[in-house]
Structure 1
């Protein structure tokens, strides 16, 4: 059925719950997983060139190190469950676009991701990366609603 699953993660508790379920699903389906984390771009908040350069380098290093550690934990969980796992990092202020793009370029046949379950004004203001992926992806998307799983 499914052979290659894209598993985007933002490191949130909702994402962690989806990861566990997605890895179990992948193991049962005999599928491999590509774990993806999209890091935000650096944005300038100062006019002092020296501070900007130091801040930029430190931001890039710290965010990359954090993402690599998070993806490494996910890869170890996959390995422990007998699921082949590749990890990928991208930078973008539009994570949904990188998720859709990665699914296509890596020939994934399913995306499994979490939703935070935000509704009302909060959901409208913050936007939903999951909703945007659902709208733009030609690859099927399985959504794990972590807020419902907690009850």
Structure 2
């Protein structure tokens, strides 16, 4: 079965379903688990607007907010993992493209399954909004479990 599962999560309710599915599969198969969260970097436009508004050290404040959010998210992930009796290795990335971060992490960690959630958008909405899940599916040779 699977030896190393990568679970991608953004902290949403839908991603929680994916986390639970991935942890359950890991428990059954005895697989190692890496949980990846990806946050986009502070955009230059937002930085400039914050500076114009007189906010001191917007980069430091953004980093502090991300750190606090990641601590909460990690605690939630650890609680789910403990409940299912699974040990996880959390990884946090800052990247413009969550899909690229997922692909890179799966490759570097030697994962043989990627678990991620998808809203299941279709048609024009999918085209306009893009889909990190679709990008991962198109670019990887690693099996992907999509949870909806």
2-structure distance, mates of 1:56, 1:15: 27
Mapping for residues 1-151 of structure 1, pairs under 5 Å? 1-45=1-45, 46=48, 48=51, 51=54, 54-145=57-148
Can you give the 5+ residue segments of structure 1 that lack an aligned partner in the other structure? 146-151
How many matched pairs?
Answer: 145
Q: CA deviation at 1:53?
A: 5.6
TM-score (norm 2): 0.89
Structure 1, 63-72 or 103-112: larger mean CA deviation? 63-72
1-structure distance, mates of 2:14, 2:117: 6
Q: CA RMSD in A?
A: 1.8
- 1:55-89 CA-to-partner distances (Å, cap 9, x unmatched) read 11111110232023212211221122111201000
Can you give the 5+ residue segments of structure 2 that lack an aligned partner in the other structure? none
- 1:109-131 CA-to-partner distances (Å, cap 9, x unmatched) read 11011111111222111111011
TM-score (norm 1): 0.88
- 1:15-40 CA-to-partner distances (Å, cap 9, x unmatched) read 11111111111111111211100011
- 1:89-122 CA-to-partner distances (Å, cap 9, x unmatched) read 0001101000000011111111011111111222
